[in-house]
Amino acid sequence: MDDLDKIFDVFENKYSITEKLQAFKEKINAPSTNEKSIIFLEYIQQILYEQDFSIHDLFSVFNEYNDLSINDLDILDIIDKWGKCHYAIKSVSEKIGLYLATKIKVKKEKSSSINEVQLKRWEILEGQNLIDEVLGKYDPDKQEIILYTENIKSTANHLNTSEKILTKLVEIHEAAHAIIHLGIDADGINFNTNSYKGIDRGKFPSPLHETLAQLLCYHCVKDGYLRNFIHDFENLNRCQPKEYRLWEQFKDVPLERIRSILIEIRQQRIGASFEAFRVRALD
């Protein structure tokens, strides 16, 4: 039994898809590793489309049988294209312990409509590659994430990083905004949209919004399947405005405490401001 047979057996035992499995086993005779990779990707895509697939299962199989020449970013692309939930959204949700009852749409557009006048009004300095509104955006009214592909591409070149990696980092950041807004806690409560938009009195960039988003992004990258790209996150972080770098003072605060404070803010037990959050988190 070759490695591909073993992989198929792993998924057959867990997901009971014998008929579909057999159709793909007939293609196993492909002589090259690259062709085997293509067969496997085709197979996994159909599983992801039909099953509530575990990301951990997929990565554990690749870790055991790593001669298929498929890297972590390829796997994440498969999950995003075919899975029931984008990796970024699922990763943030599991990290902070808040879960979605509604689907968040993720779409791509070429570029943002933000211009130099608006950037100056927000006091964004030259050389600062603003994540929100320039590289991506979470729209709380439409409950959707937008990734600006041309802006991401040019920023990736500027940062000397991969466009794919930067896209994932921006998506995790925007997913964090979405989960902070829509993620449901144990009491079945999420943020009222107007209250969410009113954090820090509606200031943009909001110190608290960006602290929470970057803090969650940091933990998802550091502890997740993008851990090898933590330096890319740090490079992106360094060229952000000050509101995006305030999270660093909280990186050793347990996420369970961060979650508890967020719930207190939702319940209006403490103020919806960065300063109130800071005092509570570092108390």
**HSE toward the beta carbon, residue 239, CA cutoff 13 A:** 18
The secondary structure of the chain in percent helix, strand, coil, rounded to multiples of 5, reads 60, 5, 35
Question: The tokens of 124 are what?
Answer: 């964004």
133-169, pLDDT tens digit by residue?
A: 999 999 999 999 999 999 999 999 988 999 999 999 9
How many residues does the structure list for the chain?
283
Residue 251, H or E segment: none
* Stretches in the chain below the pLDDT threshold 50: 1-2
The answer for residues whose C-beta is within 8 angstroms of residue 218's C-beta and 6 or more apart is: 233, 237, 247, 251
Which one-letter amino acid corresponds to residue 136?
G
34 vs 42: CA distance, rounded Å: 13
pLDDT at 27: 54
Question: What per-residue confidence (pLDDT) applies to 13?
Answer: 59
Contact between 4 and 40 (Cβ < 8 Å) = yes
pLDDT at 82: 63
Residue 70 confidence (pLDDT): 62
CA separation for the pair 118, 124 (Å, rounded): 9
